[in-house]
Amino acid sequence: MTEKNHNPKSLHRTKLILQFFALFVSAYLPILIIQNFPFVLNFDIPARDYLVFHNVAEVFSVTVSISIFGLGWFTYKRTRNYHSLFIAVSFLTVGLFDFMHALAYSGMSDLITPNTPNKSTQFWILARLTTGFGILFSAFFYSRKQSLRINSFWLLSISLLFTIVALYTVNFHQETLPETYKQGYGLTKLKIGLEYFIIFLNVISFLIYFNLYLESGDTNLKYLLAGLIFFIFCDYSMTIYTTVFDTFSLLGHTYKIVSFYLIYKSIFISSVNEPYDSLLWINRRLESEIEEHEHSKKKFIQSLDEKGILIRELYHRSNNTMQLIRSMINLQAENYPKNSDIDELVRKTEERIQTISIVHQILFESNDLSKISLREYINKLIGYILIRNQDVSKEIKIQSEIEDQHVLLDIAVPVGLILLELVSNSLKHAFPDPSNGILTIEIQKLDSGDILFEYSDNGVGISNSLDPKNLDKLGMKLIYGIGEGQLHGRIRICNQPNFFFQLQFRDDLYFPRV
């Protein structure tokens, strides 16, 4: 048992062929009925009634032609649709020829020169030839290839020039043109031959556009293909009428109305609906992306909030951990109540832990999880140091000038530890009589971007015989280690007559990690 594999493209092609064949049969059916019942259905319509219908049909055709031109021409700058532009300019010429055909029709007022059936038929043939060639050649512009790019104004100029030359020739040099209709004889062989040639052009156009439709899947080509079928029967009807007022002439103009409507719809879709549909599709996609972006943004904000909570919890626990370590050190120190060196070590360690703890406390309470206000931190730290040494500090004046700037944890902690050592040393060693003691703290940001930290007191200073770098008991080793090692700064110390300390370091040593 064998299983047949059906190609989807082949099935689609077959379905389209059947659809267009059904339309072809439906379009041919009125002609077939009239040809089989000529005595009932094929007759001359009164001239007045026919002229009303003819004028309505031609006005409709002209209006549609101008509309097709307007759509293709005025949307070209945005769509760059060469195919629609070529059809648009072609149908401008067609519309003008149809307008001349209507004005030159028998029974109408003379168009420049006396109207005759031959004159109106010549304008008709010109309009149909322009339609046939225009649609056929427009197929070569469908792919929008760079090599086929055209100048729209040159194309329009050629179209209008051709129309003016044709109008002049048909009116003033009709003897140079072959006859297409003879009074009392009817259609000439040339006119019938030209109609069959136009049918041939429309068949070729149909085959080309049918293949383009299969390749591109462009649904608006279906309307153009349907319009070509009605054009074929429009031209065929004009090969079998005997008078300009009979049923076949009326049927031919009816086919023309239908075909013009279908081609207008094809151009309208490609020039107006298609760009708007594309815009709507892009709009829906943007809405979807915006919605997805908002969802991602909410998740991101939620993630940031969770991260902020976790980091604050980390700072809080770090602070608690340092307080726990501080308590454990105090408990251990209670085992050596008479050892002054251990008491001093515990005191120093406790103060250093609290110096770091204050930073974590500020970060926990702040919205910024990376930086803290240096002024706020220094003020809290000085307050803590003064409380710890209130027996001496209550008579000492603090003069501070701290530029408010936000620094990273990696900068704040080292600066705080250095300040702790400096203030503690001054309180302990600088003032035999603390009643006149003054501590000065200045921190500012220089134009170079460096931070300048200056500290001084009006105490007794450090003996000249001593190297400050080697005074371990005064915490100088810690100060130099942090200032030069961790902050990569430059330290300058003056000992006499008063103590003066200066540290200059860069602000961009570290980068935010949160």
What residue ranges do the domains of the chain occupy?
Answer: 46-289, 372-506
pLDDT at 514 over 90: no
Structure tokens at 443: 């921190």
Residue from 491, 456, 460, 461 nearest 477 by CA: 491
Judged by average pLDDT, the poorest of 121-130, 283-292, 324-333 is: 324-333
pLDDT at 146 over 50: no
Same CATH topology for 46-289 and 372-506: the answer is no
- The alpha helices in 144-188, defined as continuous H runs, are 152-172
pLDDT at 1 over 80: no
pLDDT at 412 over 50: yes
Asked if residue 380 lies in contact with residue 365, where contact means CB atoms within 8 angstroms, the answer is: no
Helix axes 82-103, 117-138, angle to 10 degrees: 180
Q: Residue 200: what pLDDT?
A: 93
At residue 142, what are phi and psi to the nearest 5 degrees? -65, -40
What tens digit of pLDDT does each residue of 170-188 get? 888 877 888 887 777 777 8
What tens digit of pLDDT does each residue of 238-262 get? 888 777 778 888 888 889 889 888 8
Q: Residue 337: what pLDDT?
A: 65
424-440 average pLDDT score: 83
Q: How confident is the model at residue 271 (pLDDT cuts 50, 70, 90)?
A: low
Sorted by sequence, the CB contacts under 8 Å of residue 40 that are 6+ apart come out as: none
CA-CA distances (angstroms) from residue 300 to 286, 291, 297, 370, 488?
Answer: 20, 14, 5, 19, 37
349-376 average pLDDT score: 78
Does residue 343 or residue 25 have the better pLDDT? Answer: 25
Q: Residue 286: what pLDDT?
A: 83
Q: Residue 3: what pLDDT?
A: 45
- Mean pLDDT over the full length of the chain: 80
447-456 average pLDDT score: 90
pTM: 0.54
What tens digit of pLDDT does each residue of 275-321 get? 666 677 788 888 888 888 887 877 777 666 656 566 656 655 665 66
What tens digit of pLDDT does each residue of 3-26 get? 445 566 778 788 888 888 999 999
Please return the burial class of 36, using the count of CB atoms within 10 Å of its CB with bins 0-12, 13-18 and 19+: exposed
116-142 average pLDDT score: 85
Give the count of beta carbons closer than 10 Å to the beta carbon of residue 98: 29
Cα–Cα distance, 396 to 459 (Å, whole number): 11
Asked if residue 442 lies in contact with residue 479, where contact means CB atoms within 8 angstroms, the answer is: no
Cα–Cα distance, 364 to 356 (Å, whole number): 13
Cα–Cα distance, 33 to 194 (Å, whole number): 25
Q: Residue 314: what pLDDT?
A: 62
Q: How confident is the model at residue 503 (pLDDT cuts 50, 70, 90)?
A: very high
Asked if residue 81 lies in contact with residue 142, where contact means CB atoms within 8 angstroms, the answer is: no
Quote the longest CA-to-CA distance of the chain.
Answer: 145
Cα atoms found within 13 Å of the Cα of residue 289, Cβ hemisphere only: 6
At the topology level, CATH places domain 46-289 in: Rhopdopsin 7-helix transmembrane proteins (1.20.1070)
Q: Residue 45: what pLDDT?
A: 79
Structure tokens at 369: 């999880």
Q: Is the preceding peptide bond at 30 cis, omega within 30 degrees of 0?
A: no
Please return the burial class of 190, using the count of CB atoms within 10 Å of its CB with bins 0-12, 13-18 and 19+: middle
Cα–Cα distance, 412 to 359 (Å, whole number): 7
pLDDT at 372 over 80: yes
Greatest mean pLDDT among 107-116, 154-163, 336-345 lies in: 154-163
- Torsion angle of the four alpha carbons 134, 88, 229, 26, in this order, in degrees rounded to the nearest 10: -160
356-375 average pLDDT score: 77
Q: How confident is the model at residue 441 (pLDDT cuts 50, 70, 90)?
A: very high
Beta bridge partners of 454: 442, 502
Q: Residue 148: what pLDDT?
A: 53
Domain boundaries 372-506, CATH class? alpha beta
